[in-house]
Structure 1
């Protein structure tokens, strides 16, 4: 999981989709030609998405609430983000042999229904933190940034509750595990500038002035927001 995520910097955000192979959910895949990330679907059906998600539970937990600190939670994730990630895996634009195999079987409607289902699920409980001072420092950075160092508050894009913004494709980060959150923060901070996609580029710029202790503090707060 970690190896594949770290090689997907341009798409890596607080939510990387990792799941066991869906056993022939549908014989799908993107239509030939055209933009592989452009999806065509009717009104998403969350109930159907719940049925399709049954085999995701092995990694992501019931209802998308993972209890594995190395596996991201999908519960409460914004649907635009989930759709984009699954489309990217299906098109083999994002590295991950497991997820590419999973997404290869999905039709556009399957992707939309899965995204609707996970978006409808309540965010999982906060992870326990034993360092109150570290969490408090992370909260200050998340809510207010650090103007003296040119660090913008995370809440500007992700919201004060960390739930993201669907219409902008900004992911929910609330209650992701501290280890997973820290891994992704490292990815954004260390990736070179590439332009093109505004969210990853914005993350790189925001995190550039922050040090390792700052990133650990943010991860501690993100993982225990609720």
Structure 2
């Protein structure tokens, strides 16, 4: 198994436990009225406070940049990210489902309310500037992102992420606008090399969407989304 696919297997764990990784933020019950299995990624919190999240975010600036705009090509920007996605990632790190010693330690200190407040803060921040890009690669990536390639069964990324790449909070579709290029490419490769997620949405949708892409395609798409704005 490749190092990329093994890093994504954590997404299947909650499904194997009989829970949804994108469940509501409050516990539920089964149709029979019995208690539902505990979802390690479910959160309970009051109305998120971006102001409180700003205070917590000070400890994140060293890696993710001031206001969540990363200046390191291999570290994700958090600014402008949809709150549902950020909540999910932080909960996964805290539950030690998503690999990363650093992020697991950071998330272990966060309460459900902290996670919600941080996510609200970053969602309210302006997306960072576009990264420099090689024009030809950017043009190829833009075509794949906006139109896909029907002849190869390549779905346009814009169908889910939107023409501006900003995603959709209600459907847990992440913002990809101006992600650092190395990080963007790594994530695309992870989904490309991942095993099936058994219909788990949106991870399975991503896996299917990028499967027909070549290594060159992946680099071109990463080049484009890192330089969209």
TM-score normalized with structure 2 length: 0.84
Aligned-residue Cα RMSD (Å) equals 1.8
TM-score normalized with structure 1 length: 0.85
Are 2:86 and 1:82 equivalent residues in the alignment?
Answer: yes
Candidates 215, 220, 223, aligned match of 1:220 = 223
1:81 counterpart SS class: helix
Structure 1 stretches (4+) deviating beyond 3 angstroms? 4-7
2:8 counterpart SS class: coil
For residues 26-56 of structure 1, the C-alpha deviation after alignment (integer angstroms, 9 at most, x for no partner) is xxxxxxx932211111100000000001010
| Structure 1 unpaired stretches of 5+ | 13-32
Candidates 126, 131, 154, aligned match of 2:130 = 126
| Structure 2 unpaired stretches of 5+ | 12-36
Query: Within 2, Cα distance between the matches of 1:184 and 1:121?
Result: 22
Candidates 117, 140, 143, aligned match of 2:143 = 140
Query: Within 2, Cα distance between the matches of 1:94 and 1:7?
Result: 11
Query: Within 1, Cα distance between the matches of 2:78 and 2:215?
Result: 26
Structure 1 residue aligned with 2:191? 188
Candidates 48, 54, 60, aligned match of 1:56 = 60
Contact 1:10/1:200 (<8 A) preserved? no
How far off its partner does 1:93 sit?
1.1
How far off its partner does 1:194 sit?
2.6
Are 2:169 and 1:170 equivalent residues in the alignment?
Answer: no
Report the count of equivalent residues: 203
